[in-house]
Chain A
Amino acid sequence: MSATSDIIRNGLWTNNPGLVQLLGLCPLLAVSNSVVNALGLGLATLLVLTASNIAVSAIRDVVRDEIRIPVFVLVIAAFVTTVELAMNAWLHELYTILGIFIPLIVTNCAIIGRAEAFASRNPVAHAALDGFMMGLGFALALLALGALRELLGAGTLLADAELLFGPVAESWTITVIPEFRGFLLAILPPGAFIGLALLIAAKNAWERRQPKPAAQPTTAGAEPDAA
């Protein structure tokens, strides 16, 4: 199996930051009450993670061990601030909704975790792919949770899409269950925890049903999930 497909599989599934590593839970739980919010934060995180992985990998030979962490923090903070300013300028309404969770991307452990564990030890191309795939994995987990909660809580999908995609998206809202007053719990904070737990359970159940590939019997007992 090539390194590339390993990286892709790791980010999206085996080591998904949201569902397996459980990193960045705070934004994952707080902003996943609708598809559009989830997508907005997911894209911002994806952007920061890819950019910071590229930068960290590019400077990995220059930066000495003693100052590695402060430099990573600097790089990540600079990228997050850039993304924050850009969103404030071009996606103003969404920016006001996501509010504090944009600057808080800095504290998403998934980002410094990837910088430290992967980007600082691998060439730029691989680091970029890893950042993108991890970001995508996080965004997809966020999106799944957002869709689940919006569907149960409001009976719609993609409400307020125009905040993210502009006026063309005003008609994108899909009312799945018309005249539905909403299952309140799904939108409230407990809904986030329950929803995430259900997603993780579903992922684990699905994996258990898959026949173990005979070629790698040794890895079966050493699933990273167990840690």
Chain B
Amino acid sequence: MSIRRQMAVSAGLLALFAVIGGVLVAGTETLTRDRIIEQQRAALRATLNEVLPADRYTNTLLDDTVTLSDPDLLGTDEPVIGYRAWLGDEPVALLFPVVAPDGYSGDIRLLIGVDADGVLTGVRVLDHRETPGLGDAIETRRGDWIRQFAGLSLDQPPAAQWKVRKDGGQFDQFAGATITPRAVVKAVRKALVFFEQNQNLLFTQPPTSP
């Protein structure tokens, strides 16, 4: 067999396997695509319902979104997606993610829920890289610390108390970790300021088309 022919056979075989592999992957992708999208939506819905219980609104949360952008108050240069909750025509709450950029090791991403009166419905940690065993007490699975934010607002407690205890405020720090709760408290307060500044716009603008 000439060298040319050998090369052609090799190339042909390689192409054949590439096609078989491609078909296998494409087939699986087609089979799983809808299920993956549904799983992602279910996971997102579950997270949102942690912050705002499902019985407090009637609309499809995931389909009523607004794009928010405020590098300072939201803690990120990227625009973020806010979810609007309605009870009939009444605005109930806005759920949106913020970033606490000054965690102990990198960004802490939080999900904030604020109701139409500017009162927090809840705060949850979306992800973080804080030290396991110390800073991760902000997770609900490690402690109830993060739950204390529900019911608070810009005036309750007053501005001087919106700090960790060590800085003269009312929020506990954890044993061995002050930076993490301090970053979270600061980010939550900024989120409330953002909501107050933009509230009138937030519930009147049309939803972003998906």
Our pick among B20, B32, B133 for the contact of A88 (Cβ within 8 Å) is B32
Cβ–Cβ < 8 Å partners of B28 in chain A: 81-82, 85-86
Q: Does A100 contact B (CB under 8 A)?
A: no
Question: In the complex, are the beta carbons of B40 and A89 less than 8 A apart?
Answer: no
What is the bound-complex CA distance between A75 and B17, given in angstroms? 8
A136 to chain B, nearest CB (A): 24
Question: In the complex, are the beta carbons of A67 and B32 less than 8 A apart?
Answer: no
Our pick among B13, B25, B36 for the contact of A82 (Cβ within 8 Å) is B25
What is the bound-complex CA distance between A75 and B16, given in angstroms? 12
Interface bracket on B: 20 to 34
Q: Does A181 contact B (CB under 8 A)?
A: yes
Our pick among B6, B22, B29, B43 for the contact of A93 (Cβ within 8 Å) is B43
Q: Does A63 contact B (CB under 8 A)?
A: yes
Question: In the complex, are the beta carbons of B14 and A70 less than 8 A apart?
Answer: yes
Given A86-B32, A90-B35: A184 touches B134 (CB 8 Å cut-off): yes
Given A78-B21, A78-B24: A184 touches B43 (CB 8 Å cut-off): no
What is the bound-complex CA distance between A75 and B14, given in angstroms? 11
Interface size on A, residues (CB 8 A): 29
From residue 118 to 135 of chain B, which have CB atoms closer than 8 A to chain A? 131-134
Question: In the complex, are the beta carbons of B43 and A75 less than 8 A apart?
Answer: no
Closest to A79 in B: B24
Q: Does A66 contact B (CB under 8 A)?
A: yes
Q: Does A62 contact B (CB under 8 A)?
A: yes
Closest to A33 in B: B132
Question: In the complex, are the beta carbons of A64 and B132 less than 8 A apart?
Answer: no
Question: In the complex, are the beta carbons of A74 and B21 less than 8 A apart?
Answer: yes
Q: Does B159 contact A (CB under 8 A)?
A: no
Cβ–Cβ < 8 Å partners of A79 in chain B: 24
Cβ–Cβ < 8 Å partners of B22 in chain A: 78
From residue 163 to 182 of chain B, which have CB atoms closer than 8 A to chain A? none
Question: In the complex, are the beta carbons of B36 and A74 less than 8 A apart?
Answer: no
Our pick among B10, B21, B29, B42 for the contact of A85 (Cβ within 8 Å) is B29
Question: In the complex, are the beta carbons of A184 and B32 less than 8 A apart?
Answer: no
Q: Does B161 contact A (CB under 8 A)?
A: no
Q: Mark B128-151, 1 if CB is under 8 A from A, else 0.
A: 000111100000000000000000
What is the bound-complex CA distance between A63 and B35, given in angstroms? 36
Cβ–Cβ < 8 Å partners of B39 in chain A: 88-89, 92
Question: In the complex, are the beta carbons of A66 and B32 less than 8 A apart?
Answer: no
Question: In the complex, are the beta carbons of B132 and A188 less than 8 A apart?
Answer: yes
Question: In the complex, are the beta carbons of A62 and B13 less than 8 A apart?
Answer: yes
Question: In the complex, are the beta carbons of B35 and A78 less than 8 A apart?
Answer: no
Q: Does A182 contact B (CB under 8 A)?
A: yes
Cβ–Cβ < 8 Å partners of A81 in chain B: 25, 28
Closest to A96 in B: B43
5 CB contacts below 8 A, A to B, read A64-B10, A75-B21, A93-B43, A182-B133, A188-B131
> Would you list the 10 A-B pairs with minimal beta carbon distance, nearest first?
A78-B21, A89-B32, A92-B39, A89-B35, A184-B133, A82-B28, A85-B32, A74-B21, A81-B25, A78-B24
Residues of B within 8 A of A (CB): 6, 9-10, 13-14, 17-18, 20-22, 24-25, 28-29, 32, 35-36, 39-40, 42-43, 131-134
